[in-house]
């Protein structure tokens, strides 16, 4: 299947390291590398890391906010992919979304363990099941859509955005978000619904 990767680079301005700039999107074939990963070819792991390692690291770091832990989680993510590649449909599965799902789950597991919070939501492992990444919407792997999502998130009101981010980056359910934000559950549901509607709108056909 055809996939895409966002290429990041870092620039130096007056000696200060700036956030990565998204420079370009390259269409790449993940199917081949996944097939080789299934044959346990080490070079395939290297290629997969080169494509998605940075993305995985940034997500883990955003969630756990500790560089050392984030590095460990990246390693766990690729270890899991290495061990579970056989279950992946190399021709129809999307490697990037799968890796990000694994990284997010491992990171949220870590947060939960730290806070001794019991998972009362959908089993996270389910969200990284290889079957979920078969025939992944091609448009989602397109940089323009990703940029639209980012823009949509930035346009949300502070409460709506906070609610969405608590769900995504901390894995909180709506009830937990309501508790965290000291708001009635109904209010949080309204924010979430509104936020999702706005994101859908910004994404054109998505979720229509």
Partner 1 sequence: MTCEELRPGYLLYAMGTVGEPESSELRVHLDRGCAACTEGLRQAHALVYSMGAVLAGPEAPRELRGRVLGISGVEARRTQAPGPLLPRARSGRLWQGWALAAAAIVLAVIPASLWHRQLSQARASQAAVAELLAEERRASSSLRAESRGAVPIFALEVERGGTAGEALKQLAIPAGVRAVVLALPADLVRQASAVELRNATGETIWTASSLPDGDADSTGLKVDGRLLTPGRYAVVLLAGGRTLARLPFAVIPR
Using the rule CB under 8 A, which residue among 53, 117, 162, 187 binds partner 1?
Answer: 53
Smallest separation, CB 14 to partner 1 (Å): 18
Smallest separation, CB 89 to partner 1 (Å): 15
The whole-angstrom separation of Cα 120 and Cα 175 is 10
Using the rule CB under 8 A, which residue among 10, 15, 118, 158 binds partner 1?
Answer: 10
Q: Select 31 or 133, whichever has its Cβ closest to partner 1.
A: 133
The whole-angstrom separation of Cα 189 and Cα 193 is 6
Smallest separation, CB 139 to partner 1 (Å): 7
Query: Any idea which residue has 């001794």 for tokens?
Result: 116
Q: Select 29 or 139, whichever has its Cβ closest to partner 1.
A: 139
Choose among 78, 72, 173: nearest CA to 122.
Answer: 173
Q: Select 84 or 162, whichever has its Cβ closest to partner 1.
A: 84
Using the rule CB under 8 A, which residue among 95, 101, 156, 188 binds partner 1?
Answer: 101
Smallest separation, CB 83 to partner 1 (Å): 4
Tell me: does residue 83 bind partner 1 (CB under 8 A).
yes
Q: Select 29 or 39, whichever has its Cβ closest to partner 1.
A: 39
Tell me: does residue 88 bind partner 1 (CB under 8 A).
no
Q: Which of residues 115-174 bind partner 1 (CB under 8 A)?
A: 120-124, 126-127, 132-133, 135-137, 139-140, 145-147, 149-150, 153, 167-168, 171-174
Write out the chain in H/E/C secondary structure. Answer: CEEEEEEEECCEECCEECCCEEEEEEEEEHHHHHHHHHCCCHHHHHHHHHHHHHHHHHHHHHHHCCHHHHHHHHHHHHHHHHHHHHHCCCCCECHHHHHHHHHHHHHHHHHHHHHCCCCCCCCHHHHHCHHHHECCCHHHHCHHHHHHHHHHHHHCCHHHHHHHHHHHHHCCCHHHHHHHHCCCHHHHHHHHHHHHHHHHHHCCCCCC
Smallest separation, CB 183 to partner 1 (Å): 16
Using the rule CB under 8 A, which residue among 97, 160, 178, 188 binds partner 1?
Answer: 97
């Amino acid at each position: 299947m055809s996939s895409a990767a966002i290429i990041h680079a870092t620039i130096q301005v007056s000696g200060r390291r700036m956030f990565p700039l998204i420079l370009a999107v390259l269409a790449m074939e993940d199917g081949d590398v996944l097939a080789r990963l299934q044959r346990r070819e080490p070079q395939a792991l290297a290629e997969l890391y080169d494509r998605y390692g940075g993305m995985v690291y940034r997500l883990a770091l955003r969630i756990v906010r500790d560089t050392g832990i984030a590095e460990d989680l990246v390693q766990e993510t690729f270890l899991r992919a290495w061990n579970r590649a056989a279950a992946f449909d190399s021709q129809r599965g999307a490697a990037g979304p799968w890796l990000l799902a694994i990284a997010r789950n491992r990171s949220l597991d870590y947060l939960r363990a730290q806070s001794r919070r019991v998972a009362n939501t959908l089993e996270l492992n389910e969200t990284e099941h290889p079957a979920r990444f078969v025939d992944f919407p091609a448009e989602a792997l397109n940089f323009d859509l990703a940029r639209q999502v980012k823009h949509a998130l930035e346009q949300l009101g502070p409460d709506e955005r906070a609610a969405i981010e608590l769900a995504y980056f901390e894995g909180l359910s709506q009830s937990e978000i309501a508790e965290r934000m000291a708001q009635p559950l109904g209010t949080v549901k309204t924010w979430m619904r509104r936020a999702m509607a706005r994101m859908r709108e910004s994404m054109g056909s998505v979720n229509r």
